[in-house]
Amino acid sequence: MIKHFLSLSSFSQSDLLSLIHRAQFFFQNQHRPENIHHLLKNRIFANVFYEPSTRTRCSFEIAAKRLGADIVNFVPDNSSVKKGETVYDTLKSLESLGVDGLVFRHADDYIIEKLQPLLKLPLINAGAGKFEHPSQGLLDLLTLFQEFGKLEGLKIAVCGDIKHSRVAGSLMVAAKIFGMSIYLCGPESLVPAVTDTHIQKADFDEILPEVDAVMMLRIQLERHENLDLDPKSYHHQFGMNHRRQLSMKKHAIILHPGPFNRGVEISDDMVEHSQSRIFKQMSNGVAARMAILEWTMSGRIQ
């Protein structure tokens, strides 16, 4: 059976916890190659990214190599895409060339569900459209679990361009699975309608003292047309800064999936503040993606 990793919603709570524990094992053994380097030996993955990426693409590559696998980085600008090749034909070509799995990112909201039934090898959603970013969701859950030892009952504020954020999309899916409370904050035009009991809109400054974590999101200018954004004004209304950090609980943490715009949604001094786990998220990204790659090949969660 082909094991696609497309959405957190396809996993049960127990299976996601198994993936989190496996990712924690990889995190703890990242500097012990003798424990992990053989697990995906002779496997080949292809990174197929039709949108720019630093953290996701590089962490999947590092994850594959730490497991002993090889990886091919497909670059659309230097490929037959320039000659009119379709996305489907590109993926089928890579399949025919013998790769074992596809790590795929694209701007189209619905392309994953169109392609998945047509492929005979695992497809990993590395951020398709604006709905979900499940590997980011897993690393965020890993970060929260490391910090609090649990997920159920956690309160998380999400602030920024939520309407266009696949990171927020996966976090909201996870909230339903684990019973977390998500508070959506930001400009009214960028906060979607709420349809779930675990998710509600909130005023950013009012909810900050109540939450265990705050996920800051950048304004995705590439997904907007004619958006009039004044960085200074936005930071005053919705930015994470020293004033807002002081209103948070002492144990609360600051998260951000990156890339971050310093001085817009987060001030320079908050990026590496003692309550920030932003770079810890990046480290966890490799471990979470190792767990994902192994799962797609093994056909079972270990």
> Which is nearest to 260 in space by CA: 245, 230, 282, 227?
282
Which long-range contacts link 127-131 to residues 24+ away (Cβ below 8 Å)? 127/51, 127/53, 127/56, 127/166, 128/104, 128/166, 129/166, 130/163, 130/164, 130/165, 130/166, 130/169, 130/223, 131/166, 131/169
Quote the pLDDT of residue 40: 97
Can you give the pLDDT at residue 182? 98
Known catalytic membership, residue 56 = yes
Q: Which of 169, 176, 246 is nearest to 215 (CA)?
A: 169
Per annotation, catalytic residue among 22, 56, 90, 163: 56
Q: Which domains does the chain have, with CATH numbers?
A: 8-133+282-298 (3.40.50.1370), 136-277 (3.40.50.1370)
Residue 80, pLDDT score: 87
Query: Which pLDDT value is given to residue 222?
Result: 53
pLDDT of residue 219: 84
Q: Which of 133, 163, 277, 289 is catalytic?
A: 133
Distance CA 190, CA 96 (A): 42
Tens of pLDDT, residue by residue over 180-225, are 999 999 999 899 998 889 999 999 999 999 999 999 999 865 554 5
Q: Locate tokens 């990793």: which residue?
A: 5
pLDDT along the chain (302 residues), means of 10: 94 98 97 94 97 95 97 88 91 97 95 95 93 96 98 98 94 97 95 91 98 93 61 93 98 96 95 98 98 86 42
Tell me how far apart the alpha carbons of residues 208 and 156 are, in angstroms, rounded to a whole number.
9
Question: Taking the complete model, does pTM exceed 0.75, yes or no?
Answer: yes
Residue 37 annotated among the catalytic residues of the structure: no
Chain segment 217-262, per-residue pLDDT in tens: 998 655 545 566 788 999 999 999 999 999 999 999 999 999 999 9
> Per the residue annotation, which of 3, 21, 37, 55 is the catalytic one?
55
Are 43 and 63 in contact by the 8 Å Cβ rule? The answer is no
**Catalytic residue list contains 133:** yes
The active-site residue out of 31, 32, 83, 250 is 83
Quote the DSSP letter at residue 266. B
Q: What is residue 141's predicted lDDT score, i.e. its pLDDT?
A: 98
